Amino acid sequence: MTHPPQRRERLTPLNHAPAAVTYARETAGMTKRALAEACEVSEQLMCDIEAGRRSATPATLRRIAQVLGCPYSDLQTPRPHCQCAVVQNYDYDTAAQKLGCKPRFLKDRINRIPHQKFGESVAFCDCELALIQAMFTVAPASIDAWVSAPVSGQDTPPDVPAIRQIRPSKGRKTAAS
């Protein structure tokens, strides 16, 4: 199984989904300039909003939704977990390939796994792939002790004999207890 790359350059999630704003604007047949004018913001800000460089304030986003005639929630990021600096839109096939599963596996579970929805299309970003991978990671309960064990200053737990005391075992004798 491949590990999707973690990108954490941007630590503050956006208030809006850049791709959703672009999609809604193009569906409405408006240019960025026209939308910016109608919303009374600069064209530069509109470009930054769509590129995901700047976050749209709730007021601006509400205005954009109003002008484009789409629900406000469509433009909001439904993905507060997303920390992608560059949001990738992997389709089923690419996502499945990255996860090492079959596209069918994702399609069958689409309502239960994080993804982006643009109309009929579905896309996955890198953090969504990481989340999906975490969702389907199966680990025995005993692993908790290893994962959550506090890291102490000691390199070796006290019940482990020092390396000098360990001798090659003759036959199958048990190690010093």
Least distance (Å) from Zn ion to the CB of residue 71?
Answer: 22
Q: Does 113 bind Zn ion (CB under 5 A)?
A: no
- 3-state secondary structure string across 46-99: HHHHHHCCCCCCHHHHHHHHHHHCCCHHHHECCCCCCCCCCCCCECHHHHHHHH
Least distance (Å) from Zn ion to the CB of residue 169?
Answer: 51
Tell me the residue type at 6.
Q
Q: Does 131 bind Zn ion (CB under 5 A)?
A: no
List the one residue from 35, 49, 67, 84 that touches Zn ion (CB under 5 A): 84
Which residue number, 5 or 161, has a Cβ lying nearer to Zn ion?
A: 5
Distance CA 107, CA 109 (A): 5
Burial of 21 (0-12, 13-18, 19+ CB in 10 A): buried
Q: Does 20 bind Zn ion (CB under 5 A)?
A: no
Q: Does 21 bind Zn ion (CB under 5 A)?
A: no
Which residue number, 63 or 98, has a Cβ lying nearer to Zn ion?
A: 98
Which residue number, 14 or 35, has a Cβ lying nearer to Zn ion?
A: 14
Which residue number, 13 or 103, has a Cβ lying nearer to Zn ion?
A: 13
The kind and range of the H/E element at 26 are: helix 18-27
Least distance (Å) from Zn ion to the CB of residue 129?
Answer: 9
Site size for Zn ion (CB under 5 A) = 4
Distance CA 25, CA 29 (A): 6
Least distance (Å) from Zn ion to the CB of residue 9?
Answer: 12
Which residue number, 8 or 172, has a Cβ lying nearer to Zn ion?
A: 8
Which residues, 6+ apart, have CB-to-CB distance to 80 below 8 Å?
13
Residues interacting with Zn ion, by CB under 5 A?
A: 82, 84, 125, 127
